[in-house]
């Protein structure tokens, strides 16, 4: 049986410590452990994108570099196709058996996927089996991440206090972006301190996946000690045994809202994260070192922006930040990406991407809490995770593949219009939805 909230506070509080301070300590500890696990999961997932420039030749037949990168991007997208299934599986576990159980199992599955990639022989050794095994590993990681998002968003939103819910829940994207930043930093260290480009392409790309697998084990152990949220403990008392998916469809408006508000934001997010590294290398024509440095610097800025925007949402509401992202994204995406494509200067490239992150952070910083605030506790992890994962698999995971395909047929700028269209569609949703800060379903 889960400990009560009062028992949890008493357990963590030293003798004589005021209850309010003990409660804050409990929340911070829970947010820290939940966020660290989230960081490890996203590090493992993004290591694939960060090192694809090096390992693509190991898994696919020799040929044109753009074609190899497109093949790697297609397998990256495959990891997104199964994310709705992961969102349902781990969302069901979270809503029926606890947020802690779901979070622990999801990071353990990510560990397995990373270790499979680290140990798979290359194409020259086992032929076509190499990309098949790589695809299998990406499916495992996709299932894991599909469950991680909904459960993590639910957990962080529930454990936060009402006045600072936007700020605390923003740490999901702090650690999400931090996971990719860690992957980039590992790449920088290997590039500049330890290995030659030839060694990285031959075997060095396996190192980050092995690191990720080991870190995932540590995160799983840490998550086993998480306390359940008050929202889940109360919802568990009212469980009817009905399927979480069936219960989710009792809230069709909320499900549609999750799809609509995610569409443009996820396409923009994956453009400026996973695809941007390839864009800087293949289109802007920066060197390997310049590409990694600009990518890491822009991700660091994005990480810093998340809690700032989250705190702003606690003061002015969620809706205005989303509308700001929608309006600016619709107006400035084409000019920003066109200017980025035209430059060959690393500093100019960084400034343009930084401007993009000033816009995109209006979505990334608060999208998790907005979705969590839409659903009651008994179906919250499933309601957040499944429609989000479905939308990400369609518009987020395919962003890199679509961009590379447009480039391969000689119309790279068509992607800029595609991205603008996605953001404009979400802007319509932002304009007519209620502000979830004022109409939150999170009551504890």
Print burial letters for 146-163: b (CB count within 10 Å at least 16), e (below 16).
Answer: bbbbbbbbbbbbbbbeee
Note down pLDDT in tens along the chain; length 444 residues: 333 333 333 333 444 445 567 666 777 777 777 777 778 777 877 787 778 777 777 777 666 556 566 666 666 666 777 888 888 888 888 888 888 888 888 888 888 888 888 888 887 788 778 878 888 888 888 888 888 878 888 888 887 777 888 888 888 888 888 888 888 888 888 888 788 878 887 888 888 889 888 888 888 888 887 777 777 777 777 766 666 778 888 888 999 999 999 999 999 998 998 788 888 888 888 887 888 888 889 989 999 999 999 999 999 989 999 999 999 999 999 999 999 989 888 899 999 999 999 999 999 999 888 998 888 878 888 888 889 888 988 888 788 888 888 888 888 889 999 999 999 999 999 999 988 888 777 765
Helical residues (DSSP H) of 60-128, grouped into ranges:
65-81, 83-97, 99-119, 123-126
Does residue 56 contact residue 71 with C-beta atoms inside 8 Å?
A: yes
Phi-psi region of 101 (alpha: psi -120 to 50; beta: other; left: phi over 0): alpha
Does residue 296 contact residue 188 with C-beta atoms inside 8 Å?
A: yes
CA distance 51 to 264: 26
Domain boundaries, the chain: 30-432
- pLDDT value of residue 302: 93
Side-chain half-sphere CA neighbours of 86 within 13 A: 30
How many C-beta neighbours within 10 Å does residue 243 have? 12
> What sign for the dihedral angle of Cα 365, 367, 373, 377?
negative
For tokens 């289109």, name the residue: 283
Side-chain half-sphere CA neighbours of 233 within 13 A: 15
Report the CATH number of the 30-432 domain.
Answer: 1.20.1250.20
Using CB atoms within 10 A of its CB, is residue 358 exposed (0-12), middle (13-18) or buried (19+)?
A: middle
CA distance 81 to 85: 8
CA distance 281 to 258: 34
Does residue 85 contact residue 145 with C-beta atoms inside 8 Å?
A: no
CA distance 315 to 125: 58
How many C-beta neighbours within 10 Å does residue 420 have? 20
Quick one: which of 181, 138, 137, 195 has its CA closest to 294?
A: 181
Determine the distance from the C-alpha atom of residue 59 to the mean position of all C-alpha atoms in its chain, rounded to a whole number.
25
Cα 438 to Cα 253, 315, 319, 390, distances in angstroms: 17, 11, 10, 27
- pLDDT value of residue 269: 92
For tokens 């452990």, name the residue: 33
Cα 431 to Cα 171, 325, 391, distances in angstroms: 25, 11, 19
Does residue 148 contact residue 109 with C-beta atoms inside 8 Å?
A: no
Helical residues (DSSP H) of 272-287, grouped into ranges:
274-282
Using CB atoms within 10 A of its CB, is residue 6 exposed (0-12), middle (13-18) or buried (19+)?
A: exposed
């Amino acid at each position: 049986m889960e400990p009560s909230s009062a028992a949890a506070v008493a357990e963590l509080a030293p003798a004589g410590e005021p209850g309010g301070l003990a409660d804050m300590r409990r929340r911070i500890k829970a947010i820290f452990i939940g966020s660290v696990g989230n960081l490890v999961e996203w590090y493992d997932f993004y290591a694939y994108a960060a090192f694809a420039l090096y390992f693509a030749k190991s898994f696919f037949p020799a040929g044109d570099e753009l074609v190899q990168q497109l093949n790697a991007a297609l397998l990256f997208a495959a990891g997104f196709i199964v994310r709705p299934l992961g969102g349902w599986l781990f969302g069901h576990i979270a809503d029926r058996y606890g947020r802690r159980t779901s979070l622990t199992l999801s990071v353990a599955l990510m560990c397995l996927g990373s270790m499979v990639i680290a140990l798979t022989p290359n194409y020259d050794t086992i032929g076509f089996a190499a990309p098949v095994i790589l695809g299998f590993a990406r499916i495992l990681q996709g299932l894991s991440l599909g469950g991680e998002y909904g459960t993590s968003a639910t957990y962080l939103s529930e454990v936060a206090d009402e006045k600072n819910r936007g700020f605390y829940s923003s740490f999901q994207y702090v650690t999400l972006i931090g996971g990719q930043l860690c992957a980039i930093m590992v790449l920088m260290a290997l590039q500049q301190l330890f290995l030659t480009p030839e060694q990285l392409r031959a075997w060095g790309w396996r190192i980050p996946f092995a690191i990720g697998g080991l870190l995932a084990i540590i995160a799983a152990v840490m998550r086993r000690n998480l306390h359940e949220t008050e929202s889940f403990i109360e919802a568990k008392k009212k469980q009817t045994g009905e399927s979480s998916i069936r219960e989710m469809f009792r809230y069709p408006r909320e499900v549609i809202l999750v799809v609509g508000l995610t569409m443009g934001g996820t396409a923009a997010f994956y453009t400026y994260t996973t695809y941007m590294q390839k864009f800087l290398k293949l289109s802007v024509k920066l060197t390997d070192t310049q590409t990694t440095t600009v990518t890491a610097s822009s991700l660091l800025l994005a990480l810093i922006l998340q809690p700032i925007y989250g705190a702003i949402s606690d003061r002015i509401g969620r809706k205005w930040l989303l509308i700001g992202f929608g309006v600016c994204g619709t107006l400035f995406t084409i000019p920003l990406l066109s200017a980025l494509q035209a430059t060959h200067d690393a500093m100019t490239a960084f400034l343009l991407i930084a401007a993009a992150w000033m816009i995109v952070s209006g979505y990334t910083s608060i999208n998790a809490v907005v979705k969590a605030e839409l659903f009651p506790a008994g179906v919250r992890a499933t309601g957040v995770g499944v429609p989000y994962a479905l939308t990400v698999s369609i518009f987020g995971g395919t962003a890199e593949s679509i961009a590379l395909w447009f480039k391969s047929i000689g119309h790279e700028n068509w992607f800029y219009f595609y991205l603008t269209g996605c953001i404009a569609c979400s802007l319509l949703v932002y304009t007519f939805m209620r502000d979830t800060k004022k109409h939150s379903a999170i009551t504890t």
